[in-house]
Structure 1
């Protein structure tokens, strides 16, 4: 198995020099443990996983003894199984004041965060780890994506060009390490196993009343609506569930790092904006499996090609930030006149409007809605159309045409 270097390595090394506790959260099988074990090589750091039931029981029932047996510096894997540890980690941290003593991983993000916030406020650096970005898969340097000509031209020399066919191959394969590094050659078999083992186990950990078949039908219904505004009623109807159940299960998917939302951009000077979020998956390979596409070529010509392409672009941009330890300020724009901008990226007091198109030759009419942001109190800056064009280009001086492989 070839180890794929992760952008988050640098961030973990940096925060381990400053914080006594470093917590890496993210879905199952995205490589959290593999990354930290790789970074531990040649060091004196100990390792224990709470997937081991005897260690888990000790951590829950006698956390003080657990930490006496498993001394820092240590990596504690799947720490969400024993939130009782947090108080004793806090006691150790306050007594010893050593940076980097505890590395923790967890797969249940928000449930886990609640315990961390109560016990370790100010003592922990919390980092989110996603599945691989396309830059990481290609072995390239990954910086946060920005609509800046200097940044974009620098990326050209560092990135592997990809045509439309290759982009849809990437979308279909997905971005889980086991598929990307060749351990599993058939992505469909991987996702089938992923759902029936890791995901089903974690779902039942969060809610013991879940019926596996009903949850699978629900998940399929959600995947079919990727890149769309959230419509709980439609999902409930398709999955034969009540809306309260759908909201609860969506919360579980978000907790496990399977889905995320883009919220509508809001500004006190912009009126008549919708407030419903849009729903996306971190990994498009899972979407393709759930919506039953047999190969990349069929997907590229199918009814969902635009929605899954948008999902891929939004998730790839988000990954470039999270994998650098930065929470992105990403939104979408839609008003009650149905005028929409796919992404509004906010940073440093500027707004970058972004449209996503499958076209390889987008026209200037695509950017007509960008001017709607001129009424906001935050200044509109450069815009972009992200599409399947193979080379970096421009519509005009203020709006670039960016190929998807350049994210």
Structure 2
């Protein structure tokens, strides 16, 4: 596994705050980063139905099983957990408690602003940089970069980019965008995404997009 450029900042902030919240697109490497940076922390993923049900029905019991430190992945699935994390941090009164990750920026930001403001450092992890791409042996020739992109899984596993990125797009539409109540017409949103993709590198023309 390649060490991400953000690793040093993540470990430093963990010593300065009760929580560090790592956000970023799906499959940008958040889970891999956090588990590699903190191998001794208990890990739990709230995308798993049993863990999510436990956290929703008994948040105190859920946190008690984790002790005084853990990585909680996809924490946006149980936003009410933030209030209990706030109380726990105030009770323990020390830094380096939990690393939180989330893929849905809007829901997560709202939950954090209500309960963990001032108690958590915020880090945003994007897919590989050009330097990280190069360190795993991927070509940085312009055509290769445009075609294969920067997502770690595509480059690490040698996936066919057209298929993998198409699957990613469908997952984004079905799992993330569908949960945003403000976007009701998914067909129109799909068209909007394709229009944006076709205008990469051009000046934004809102009138053209709107028509």
TM-score (norm 1): 0.48
Offset from partner CA, 1:105-127 (integer Å, 9 cap, x none): 01111331122122112110000
* CA separation of 1:161 and 1:65: change in aligned 2, threshold 3 A: closer
Q: Indicate the structure whose relative CO is greater, using CA pairs within 8 Å and at least 6 residues apart.
A: 2
Q: What is the match of residue 92 of structure 1?
A: 88
Matched, 1:68 2:42: no
Q: What is the match of residue 196 of structure 1?
A: 170
Once the two structures are superposed, the pairs formed by residues 335-346 of structure 1 within 5 Å of their partners are: none
Matched, 1:56 2:52: yes
The CA deviation at 1:228 is 3.6
The CA deviation at 1:225 is 2.2
For 1:89 and 1:118, locate their aligned partners in 2 and report how far apart those are by CA, in whole Å. 12
For 2:135, what is the secondary structure of its paired residue? coil
Offset from partner CA, 1:148-195 (integer Å, 9 cap, x none): xxxxxxxxxxxx996xxx1221122100001221x1331101111112
The CA deviation at 1:232 is 3.3
For 1:67 and 1:96, locate their aligned partners in 2 and report how far apart those are by CA, in whole Å. 13
| Counterpart contact for 1:5–1:139, Cα < 8 Å | no
For 1:138, what is the secondary structure of its paired residue? helix
| Counterpart contact for 1:50–1:56, Cα < 8 Å | yes
Alpha-carbon RMSD: 2.2
Q: What is the match of residue 32 of structure 2?
A: 34
| Counterpart contact for 2:71–2:98, Cα < 8 Å | yes
Matched, 1:214 2:210: no
Once the two structures are superposed, the pairs formed by residues 1-400 of structure 1 within 5 Å of their partners are: 3-41=1-39, 43=40, 45-139=41-135, 166-181=141-156, 183-207=157-181, 210-237=184-211
| Counterpart contact for 1:131–1:176, Cα < 8 Å | yes
* Count of residues in correspondence between the two structures: 210
| Counterpart contact for 2:173–2:186, Cα < 8 Å | no
| Counterpart contact for 1:184–1:190, Cα < 8 Å | no
The CA deviation at 1:211 is 4.5
For 1:92 and 1:171, locate their aligned partners in 2 and report how far apart those are by CA, in whole Å. 46
TM-score (norm 2): 0.90
For 2:85 and 2:11, locate their aligned partners in 1 and report how far apart those are by CA, in whole Å. 20
Gaps (5+ residues) in structure 1? 141-159, 238-407
Gaps (5+ residues) in structure 2? none
| Counterpart contact for 1:80–1:108, Cα < 8 Å | yes
